[in-house]
Structure 1
Amino acid sequence: MPFLHGFRRIIFEYQPLVDEILGALGIPDPEGQETPESPSCLAEDSSRFPVLSELLERETQSPFYQEGVSYSLLKVAELGLVRVAEILLQYGADLIFEDPVTYYTALHIAVLRNQPDMVELLVQRGADINRRDRIHESSPLDLASEEPERLPCLQRLLELGADVNAADKNGKTALLHALASSDGVQIHNTENIRLLLEGGADVKATTKDGDTVFTCIIFLLGETVGGDPEEVQMIHHFCFRVTQLLMAHGADPSECPAQESLTHICLKSFKLHFSLLRFLLESGASYNCSLHGPSCWSGFHIIFERLCSHLSSSEDDSFSADLLQKAETVLELMVASAQTVKLPSNFEVNFSSCRFQGEKIKALFHSLKQLERSPQALKHLCRVYIRQHLKPWPVDMKVKALPLPDRLKWYLLIDHTHACSEGI
């Protein structure tokens, strides 16, 4: 087996030379060495460099010299010993030499250990900045994107010209790696994602399995159901911030298929994800399928369907009031996105399933129908016009800064949190 063969070669063939090299640097135990940050680490002591050079000169003709010096480069790359790495490269260390167990090169290892100066040295000396390992198909940029602690390496790789949109055989880019590695609780790759987007990462990237930039967010939102309140809050904050970044760079949250559409998911669970849904709608996200229109799926249909479903099983007044208020706000946000209200051609609601608050749901429905049939009121046209001209989103602070009465600001903001609406 190649794996075992490679491992045996370290132990029986070139490990003694590796031990000598590391010993000359004051690192006698390769598995238990202290890090360069430790005051007792003497590996970068320049007085040791002549000893190292003398050792390498003496061993140049040894049978396993090339493997020994190259494997030593992996070790010093892990520790970030730049000056030592320069000496090893000068004496023939191979940049494409792979660890026989992980198959990572020195560049991969430098990224994993967050050693940006080492990353720069290796790339400048000829290491392939976009090289993928043979096991996981990960590039150095992929690895740098997966942990917030590796942000310095991510930045350095982008500065050095790493291909931000390079994909593995499954179509997974560094941006998709950063998203998939985030759990919203312990791992927050927000800054990694921001840096990749600012570096030109494609928000339309899709894997062969159909994963998009919103797949991770949709998954995390699903994890919040019944979760620990503190963790749920952290996940919501992460999802909100990342969605802001993605949409600021042109990502479309309303594309098909519906199960991979963030807007569709938020509409279906508008009570749980109200803040995120509000942001989506206020940021110009389509409340219908952005590819096929309302014939595919429609926000109006979904909101009324969920209203009837929730209010058919609960007669709790506080629950109903909160649900109706949120539904009304969402409907009004959709209405306020255009001067002309256009409902789906087959827009009908089965009120027989609404055991509670049926009359209020009917009133909402009929007010929408009336808006579609009648000429738009001047106040509606003005609201749409003002909101459109205050873009880019969000417009909250811009509206609050306008020299207008509070009641008019409330109308422009579509804010139902402190007062009841007079209707859509």
Structure 2
Amino acid sequence: MPFLHGFRRIIYEYQPLVDEILRVLGIEGGAEAQGSAPWVSLEELLETESQSSFFLEGISYSLFKVAETGLVSAAETLLRHGADLNFEDPVSYYTPLHAAVLRNQPAMVEALARHGANVNKRDRIHESSPLDLASEERERLPCLRTLLDLGADVNAADRNGKTALLHALASSDGVTVHNTDNIQLLLRGGADVEAVTRDGETALSSLVFLVKEALDCNREDAAQIGSFCLGATRLLLAHGADPSRCSDEESPLTCACLELFDLHFPLAVLLLQSGAAFRCSQHSPPCWWGYSLIFQRLCSGLQDRRDDCAAASELLQQAESILELAAAASPAVRLPPNFEVSTVGCGAHAGKVLDLYRHLKELEQNPAPLKQLCRAHIRQRLLPGPLEGKVQALPLPDRLRGYLLIERCHGNQPGACFKPRGTPLR
């Protein structure tokens, strides 16, 4: 096993020199000692040991350890004496640059790059680039910024097609890890929102996974996941991501939200306010329709709420808001072929469900009023991305801005969040 061989070499061959270098620097266990480091003593030690059989291996491995601490002057001293910038740790196969990123040492990252370190180099085990590692934790944002400034390839992918943006999203669980700032920085740096791995993983599919994960969380975790998903979705939509396009591996984000719109209501509203298609945007005929999903969930939800009038009324209001948003996004309403609604189980609210259905049929069969055509046209012109800021910047009366945004949709009000499955109805 190569890593065991490498580990034996460290222990029996050049570890004594490494230990002595770290001792001279005042470092124990990779932590910087208090006070200033005795650089002159390091020079003396290196001069004394320069004829050692394992001198280059020893100082190169010492560079790896020093890179973790951020002691730039010590690293430069080791490099002057011949330390290898591309030295691979015999166990992890990371380079000093990888080590500096993992410990969030941006000054060390810059110094190593200045001396010729390859900012795009991947390790041999995980195939991770320094940019991949920097993208995976919010605390490494300074290193991420430094690497992008140094020209790291933002769209470089590993052998599975995974880019730094996909690393940032895949490592975000929405509860303990929130990489929204990393995602924003990568997108500003030109990250491709349409990147796809060999397994079909995309930026949006990571959010679909979290949306479904929130269903089985406790209420607090579901709210945190919802907050992260809203922030990440805004960023991806602003850079042209299509949340309604199907993939071979996963249902699209819009479909996943509409299937349980009452539990993911803020995100469903954000998607539609941002111009997401209300049906599959890839296949013709569409493989899914938002109208079918909304009425299916509405009828099943009303059946669950038949003894709670307030909860049923809220569900109806949410459905009406989403349907109005869908109608506002297009100059003409287009319902699925042979679309019918069954109100079995809707109880006392069956009439209201039928009213919603009949209203949509009327919109489909009659020419749209001029104001609706204008609204749809203006909203289309403001895409891609969330519309709220763009509409607010228009030189229009508040009443017209409210009409463009459909103000009564309350998905993004303070306190609106995801809800897990099994949440009490009130």
| Inter-partner Cα distance in structure 2 for 1:380 and 1:329 | 16
When the two chains are superposed, the root-mean-square deviation of aligned CA atoms in Å is: 2.2
- Comparing 307-316 with 110-119, greater Cα deviation is found at 307-316
| Inter-partner Cα distance in structure 2 for 1:403 and 1:163 | 42
Tell me the secondary structure at the aligned position of residue 52 of structure 2: coil
Paired amino acid for 2:294: I
Aligned with residue 52 of structure 1, among 35, 42, 49: 42
Deviation of residue 125 (structure 1)? 1.5
Aligned to 1:376: 368
Q: 1:219 to 1:185 in 2, by over 3 A?
A: same
Paired residues for 1:120-269 under 5 Å: 120-257=110-247, 259-269=250-260
Aligned to 2:327: 335
* Residues 359-379 of structure 1: CA deviation (Å, up to 9, x unaligned): 211111111111111122344
Tell me the secondary structure at the aligned position of residue 211 of structure 1: coil
* Residues 22-68 of structure 1: CA deviation (Å, up to 9, x unaligned): 222223x3x2x543xx6x1432xxxx323222221222221111111
- Comparing 254-263 with 267-276, greater Cα deviation is found at 254-263
Identity over aligned pairs, percent: 57
- Comparing 369-378 with 191-200, greater Cα deviation is found at 369-378
Paired amino acid for 1:273: H
1:14–1:67 contact (8 Å) kept in structure 2? yes
Paired amino acid for 1:42: S
TM-score by length of 1: 0.90
| Inter-partner Cα distance in structure 1 for 2:285 and 2:313 | 28
Deviation of residue 224 (structure 1)? 2.0
| Inter-partner Cα distance in structure 1 for 2:31 and 2:8 | 26
Q: How many residues were matched structurally?
A: 407
Paired amino acid for 2:274: S
Counterpart check, 1:20 vs 2:20? yes
Aligned with residue 94 of structure 2, among 104, 111, 128: 104
| Inter-partner Cα distance in structure 1 for 2:93 and 2:398 | 66
Q: 1:383 to 1:127 in 2, by over 3 A?
A: closer
* Residues 271-299 of structure 1: CA deviation (Å, up to 9, x unaligned): 11111111111111111111115531111
Aligned to 2:357: 365
Paired amino acid for 1:395: E
* Residues 115-149 of structure 1: CA deviation (Å, up to 9, x unaligned): 11111111121222111112211110000001111
Aligned to 1:394: 387
Aligned to 2:66: 76
Q: 1:138 to 1:399 in 2, by over 3 A?
A: closer
1:224–1:235 contact (8 Å) kept in structure 2? yes
Deviation of residue 399 (structure 1)? 5.5
- Comparing 294-303 with 168-177, greater Cα deviation is found at 294-303
2:101–2:109 contact (8 Å) kept in structure 1? yes
Unpaired segments ≥5 residues, structure 1: 419-424
| Inter-partner Cα distance in structure 2 for 1:405 and 1:207 | 45
Tell me the secondary structure at the aligned position of residue 286 of structure 2: strand
Paired amino acid for 1:286: A
1:254–1:285 contact (8 Å) kept in structure 2? yes
| Inter-partner Cα distance in structure 2 for 1:213 and 1:400 | 29
| Inter-partner Cα distance in structure 2 for 1:322 and 1:413 | 20
Tell me the secondary structure at the aligned position of residue 214 of structure 1: helix
1:194–1:245 contact (8 Å) kept in structure 2? yes
1:175–1:196 contact (8 Å) kept in structure 2? yes
Q: 1:297 to 1:88 in 2, by over 3 A?
A: same
Paired amino acid for 1:23: R
Deviation of residue 226 (structure 1)? 4.8
| Inter-partner Cα distance in structure 1 for 2:56 and 2:338 | 74
Aligned to 2:336: 344
Deviation of residue 74 (structure 1)? 0.8
Deviation of residue 164 (structure 1)? 0.6
| Inter-partner Cα distance in structure 2 for 1:389 and 1:96 | 50
* Residues 55-109 of structure 1: CA deviation (Å, up to 9, x unaligned): 2122222111111111110111011111111111111111121111211110100
- Comparing 312-321 with 68-77, greater Cα deviation is found at 312-321
Tell me the secondary structure at the aligned position of residue 282 of structure 2: coil
- Comparing 59-68 with 352-361, greater Cα deviation is found at 352-361
Aligned to 1:319: 311
Aligned to 1:270: 261
| Inter-partner Cα distance in structure 1 for 2:206 and 2:62 | 38
Aligned to 1:421: none
| Inter-partner Cα distance in structure 2 for 1:137 and 1:213 | 19
Unpaired segments ≥5 residues, structure 2: 411-426
| Inter-partner Cα distance in structure 2 for 1:229 and 1:313 | 19
Q: 1:344 to 1:159 in 2, by over 3 A?
A: same
- Comparing 149-158 with 252-261, greater Cα deviation is found at 252-261
Q: Higher RCO, 1 or 2 (CA under 8 Å, sep at least 6)?
A: 2
1:137–1:168 contact (8 Å) kept in structure 2? yes
Paired amino acid for 2:26: G
Paired amino acid for 2:136: E
Aligned to 2:11: 11
Aligned to 2:421: none
Paired amino acid for 1:249: H
Deviation of residue 390 (structure 1)? 6.0
Counterpart check, 1:42 vs 2:33? no
Aligned to 1:306: 297
Paired amino acid for 1:414: I
- Comparing 153-162 with 341-350, greater Cα deviation is found at 341-350
Deviation of residue 404 (structure 1)? 4.4
1:82–1:118 contact (8 Å) kept in structure 2? yes
Deviation of residue 353 (structure 1)? 5.1
1:74–1:106 contact (8 Å) kept in structure 2? yes
2:244–2:276 contact (8 Å) kept in structure 1? yes
Paired amino acid for 1:66: L
Deviation of residue 8 (structure 1)? 1.5
- Comparing 2-11 with 109-118, greater Cα deviation is found at 2-11
Counterpart check, 1:415 vs 2:407? yes
